Amino acid sequence: MADLSKIKQDHRRFKQIVRGKIKRNLRQYMTNGELTGKQGKELVKVPIPRIDIPRFRYGQKDTGGVGQGEGEEGDSLGDGQEGPGKGKAGENEGEKGLEVDVTLDELAEIMGEELELPNIEPKGTEKLQTIREKYSGIRSIGPESLRHFKRTYKEALKRQISSGEYDADNPIIVPTRDDKRFRSWKETSLPQSNAVIIYMMDVSGSMGDEQKEIVRIESFWIDTWLRSQYKGLESRFIIHDATAKEVDRDTFFHTRESGGTMISSAYKLALKIIEEEYPIEDWNVYPFHFSDGDNWSVDDTTECMRILTDGLLPRSNMFCYGQVESPYGSGQFIKDLNEKFTIEDRVVVSEIKNRDAIYDSIKTFLGKGL
Partner 1 sequence: MSLPSHLWEIKEHIREVALDFGLDPFETIFEIVDYEQMNEIAAFGGFPTRYPHWRFGMEYEQLAKSYEYGLSKIYEMVINNDPSYAYLLEGNNLVDQKTVIAHVYAHVDFFKNNYFFSRTNRKMIDEMANHGSRVRRYVDRFGIEIVEDFIDTCLSLDNLIDYHSPYMERRRKEETEALTELPKIRAKDYMEEYINPQEFLERQKQKLADQDVKNRRFPIEAEKDVMRFLIDYAPLDSWESDVLSIIREEAYYFAPQGQTKIMNEGWASYWHSKILTTKVLDDSEIIDFADINAGVLATAPGRLNPYKLGIELYRDIEDRWNKGKFGKEWDDCDDLEKRMSWDRELGLGKEQIFRVRKLYNDVTFIDEFLTEEFVAENKLYTFGYNKKSGHWEIDSRQFKEVKSKLLDQLTNFGNPFIYVKDGNYKNRAELLLHHKHLGTDLDMSYARGVLKALHRVWKRPVNIETLFDEKGVVLSFDGTDYSEHPTTYEPI
**Which residue ranges make up the site for partner 1 (CB under 8 A)?**
1-4, 6-7, 9-17, 50-51, 53-80, 83-91, 98, 100-101
DSSP string, 349-368: EEEE-SGGGHHHHHHHHHTT
* 3-state secondary structure at position 220: helix
Q: How far is the CB of 94 from partner 1 (least distance, A)?
A: 9
Q: How far is the CB of 34 from partner 1 (least distance, A)?
A: 18
Q: Is 6 left (phi over 0), alpha (psi -120 to 50) or beta?
A: alpha
Rounded Cα gap, residues 82 and 98, in angstroms: 14
Whichever of 57 and 254 has its CB closer to partner 1, that residue is: 57
Strands (E), 80-180: 98-103, 129-139
Q: How far is the CB of 104 from partner 1 (least distance, A)?
A: 17
Rounded Cα gap, residues 66 and 86, in angstroms: 9
Q: How far is the CB of 26 from partner 1 (least distance, A)?
A: 21
Q: Indicate the length of the chain as a whole number.
A: 370
Q: How far is the CB of 4 from partner 1 (least distance, A)?
A: 7
Whichever of 15 and 306 has its CB closer to partner 1, that residue is: 15
- DSSP letter at 255 equals -
Whichever of 14 and 185 has its CB closer to partner 1, that residue is: 14
Whichever of 55 and 134 has its CB closer to partner 1, that residue is: 55
Q: How far is the CB of 1 from partner 1 (least distance, A)?
A: 7
Whichever of 19 and 236 has its CB closer to partner 1, that residue is: 19
* 3-state secondary structure at position 101: strand
CB 228 within 8 A of CB 112: yes
Whichever of 2 and 174 has its CB closer to partner 1, that residue is: 2
Q: Radius of gyration (Cα) for the chain, nearest Å?
A: 29
Smallest CA-to-CA distance from 198 within 241, 234, 248 is with 234
